[in-house]
Structure 1
Amino acid sequence: MNKARNKTFKYKNYEYPEEILSLFEVDLNNADRKRLHKVYSNFYDLEAERGYEYIIEDLYILSYKHKLSTSELANIYGVGVRTIQIWLKELGLNRDLKTASKIKDKNSNLNLSPNGNGQAITGSDISETFGIELADTSTYPETLKDFLNYLETIKGKSSNTIKGYAIDLTLFFRFLKVYKGLIKDTSLEFGEIPTNDITKDFIRGIKLTDIYAYLSFVEKQRENGTHARARKVAALKSFFKFLQNKAKVIDENPTLELESPKLDKRQPVYLTLDQSLELLNSLDTTDKNYYRDYCILTLFLNCGMRLSELCSINIEKIKGDTLTIIGKGNKERTVYLNEACLKALDNYLKVRDVSKVSEEDKKYLFISGRNKAINKRTVELLVKKHIGNAGIVDGKYTPHKLRHTAATLMYKYGNVDIRSLQNILGHESISTTQIYTHVDDDSLREAVKSNPLSKL
């Protein structure tokens, strides 16, 4: 049997480079969940052990949502292209063999080969492959590079916002090249279509009808929901506004009459107070990472910080009962630590071992099993694991849902006013915080019961 197909724990809690982690920041809709259910069914129908069991959802996102080629996947996971083809075929995610055989390795010169530990090499090469780095890379058209530099240096946008704009606009350019019949090499996969040849004349020829066609494409073929499409509209409007007002590339802005999709108000998904207690009490005290994981969950549930904020906590920024973090939009804010947080931190710091950690990573509070600063994917996996172990199965709970939980519990039980909650969560707009004013079902239930007709 092929060694790569044997059961292995290589991919359990697999640590991805930061450039790859950003690709997992996508919303999976109901259609995705149904497909994933089928993918898992295909896996279980094999009735055989496979090492990729731990990364099935990751493979789905990378291959189905982002359309990465088998060569790109092979370099990410440190295996051969044939192994990836076997994985995708077994899971029902494969392309037909005729198409797969035509795929050219467009990225062979990017040095994406794995290192000695089977991990993909990080750095500017892999950033260029996925088009999400702000560096002056040849994978972008000049106008896009200028726009991203403007967002970073003048507007002070966060790296996550800029990466999102880069991904959305690259997708837009790729679609337009297909839509306008400019692709000559039919062996190219969609994600391999180059965009660095987009000229200013090409951009001047973009019409509002082209944008409508693009939005129809992402809705129907990529199954983007209203929030995802609204983000793409925002990226396009900002880009073309820059081209007209700042770069003076276009005289007419095709997005002036472009409307954003109407957004349905989302009710935050959160754990109840009892579920939160069950989660914390469910952790295995004999596990070597018990104190670290307990501290992570405690900070999420008490402070409501974002995943990126937690991963980037600098141990030197903890002063007494305060913690200084850099939030969304590179804005600094103070997080106040309550008794539970201080106790969890103290217990973790007593066992925190940095003897094998590099000087660069020692400054970070949370350390992974690989003796590196913990990354977002590792935290996502440990949250998923502990919530599953606690028997909480009604919904998909992520670190962001724990942020919702903290906000909801503070609003519901702590009599925290909406302005204070806004500051605690680091929301720029009060309207974002107001979603938590609609979650107190108990008060609504009591209001209905108070109706004088309720006893009839």
Structure 2
Amino acid sequence: MGKRVEKIKEVTEEEWEACHPFNKRITNEFLEQQHLSPQTLRQYQSSLKIFFRWVKDNCENKSITDLKPRDALRYQNFLMSRDLSSNAVKFKRSSVSSLCGFIELYYNEDYPLFRNIYNKKIPNPPRALRNEKQPLTKEELDLLVDTLKEREEWQMVAYVMFSYESGCRRSETAQLLKEVVTYDKVKDKDGNFKDYYMTNSIRCKGKGREGNVRKLVMGDAAMEAVKKWLEVRGEDDCDLVFVKKTKDGKVDPLSPTAFNYWCHEIFSEIVGRRVHPHQLRSTRATHIVAIDGKDIKTAQKVLGHKSSETTQIYVIRDDDDDIDDAF
């Protein structure tokens, strides 16, 4: 199932409290920006805290204004030595770079000589796929769903079917409302029902706090799976489909990170190779184009991409398919 990446631990309150006062204050000011989405803010917060913990442990807990490009390079090398993916390293690098830009813009009078420590001379980490981009086959998807049904893991079945049919991201899945089971199928201009449903409005990936708000689509299989889960779950006060029950019996929204756990620890064991949440999105795009033979623009509409070129990245075809077509 491949080498397991050692995840960098989140910064504890005690560790954060020990960081340089200016670093903590400027981080909080940076995170108060209103144009950033809540999810982006959480990612920035985690990333910057990890950076300043590293500064505390490796750079004598200096203020960021006293750091040099060589320190930025050392931090990047530290991240790469932890065997993170190139995308993960780039995000942590960009979060620090964005904070530097914030200081340059708003604290220029106080620190006129300060410059972004991630300058152009520090190369980006080489692009390397942490895991091979290999979508699930139809057989693997069926095996996964059938096994979960046998185990009566109805919430997991609903998650797999909805995420696959809608082609959505994990954060979008978490926003699905229970009320969708009362929705009728979409009608065409003549009033005839189509073969799919539309969800409640969901905040999808996009710029700004509001992002790109749209309604996702799903078919009968996903709708039946959601209905089955809600039937088993019973009545409660939470409006969302995916939830967790606390020890005192309270029902709370399920964090998107729970989907990571399901994929890594449960689904991977069933399928026999690594499964991750975004893989369902790639699987959907691949099945639409490479198996069902639909146009790339069909997959583009389902996934909600502005450009079909972005969708093409998600479609993984066997190289032999192109050779077969040539003959």
TM-score (norm 2): 0.75
Task: From the superposition, tell whether residues 225 and 399 of structure 1 become closer, same or farther in structure 2 (CA, over 3 Å).
Answer: closer
Displacement of 1:430 in angstroms is 5.4
Name the SS for the 1:403 alignment partner.
Answer: helix
- 8 Å CA contact 1:317–1:325 kept in 2: the answer is no
- Which residue does the alignment assign to 1:185? none
Matched, 1:314 2:177: yes
AA in 2 matched with 1:165: Y
SS at structure 2 position matched to 1:336? strand
In the TM superposition, residue 397 of structure 1 has moved relative to its aligned partner by 0.9
Q: Work out which structure has the larger RCO, using CA pairs closer than 8 Å and 6 or more positions apart in sequence.
A: 2
Corresponding residue pairs, total:
299
Q: Partner residue of 2:69?
A: 208
Report 1:77-226 matches (<5 A). 106=14, 141-150=24-33, 153=34, 155=35, 157-182=36-61, 202-220=63-81, 222-226=82-86
Is the Cα contact below 8 Å between 2:137 and 2:283 reproduced in 1? yes
Separation (CA, whole Å) in 2 of partners of 1:382 and 1:173: 31
For residue 325 of structure 1, report the CA deviation from its aligned partner: 1.7
Residue by residue over 1:250-298, the C-alpha shift from the partner in whole angstroms, topping out at 9 and shown as x without a partner, is 43423342442232467522210121122222234573x43x3322221
Aligned residues of 1:158 and 1:328 also touching (Cα < 8 A): no
Residue 408 of structure 1 and its aligned partner are, at CA, apart by 1.5
Q: Percent identity?
A: 21
- Verify the 8 A CA contact 1:325 1:334 in the aligned structure 2: yes
CA separation in 2, counterparts of 1:209 and 1:385?
39
Residues 5-404 of structure 1: pairs in structure 2 closer than 5 A: 30=3, 32=4, 61=7, 65-66=8-9, 106=14, 141-150=24-33, 153=34, 155=35, 157-182=36-61, 202-220=63-81, 222-248=82-108, 250-251=111-112, 252-254=114-116, 255-257=118-120, 258-264=122-128, 268-285=133-150, 287=152, 289-290=153-154, 292-316=155-179, 319-320=183-184, 321-323=197-199, 324-329=201-206, 330-354=211-235, 357=236, 359=237, 361=238, 363-370=239-246, 371-383=251-263, 387=267, 390=270, 392-393=271-272, 395-404=273-282
SS of 1:282's partner is helix
RMSD over aligned CA atoms reads 3.5
Cα shift at 1:364: 0.7
Aligned counterparts of 2:174 and 2:32: Cα–Cα separation in 1? 25
The unaligned stretches of length 5 or more in structure 1 are 1-27, 34-59, 73-104, 108-127, 132-137, 183-197, 451-456
Runs (5+) with no aligned partner, structure 2: 185-196
Spell out, residue by residue over 1:200-242, the C-alpha distance to the aligned partner (whole angstroms, 9 max, x if none): xx3332221221122122223x333422221122112222122
Aligned twin of 2:188: none
Partner of 1:444: 322
Deviates more, 1:233-242 or 1:311-320: 311-320
Residues 151-174 of structure 1: per-residue CA shift (max 9 Å, x gap): xx0x3x333322222222223223
Could you tell me the TM-score, scaled by structure 1's length? Answer: 0.56
Residue 368 of structure 1 aligns to a residue in which SS?
strand
Aligned AA (1:387)? F
Given that 2:168 and 2:303 are in contact with CA atoms closer than 8 Å, whether structure 1 keeps it comes out as yes
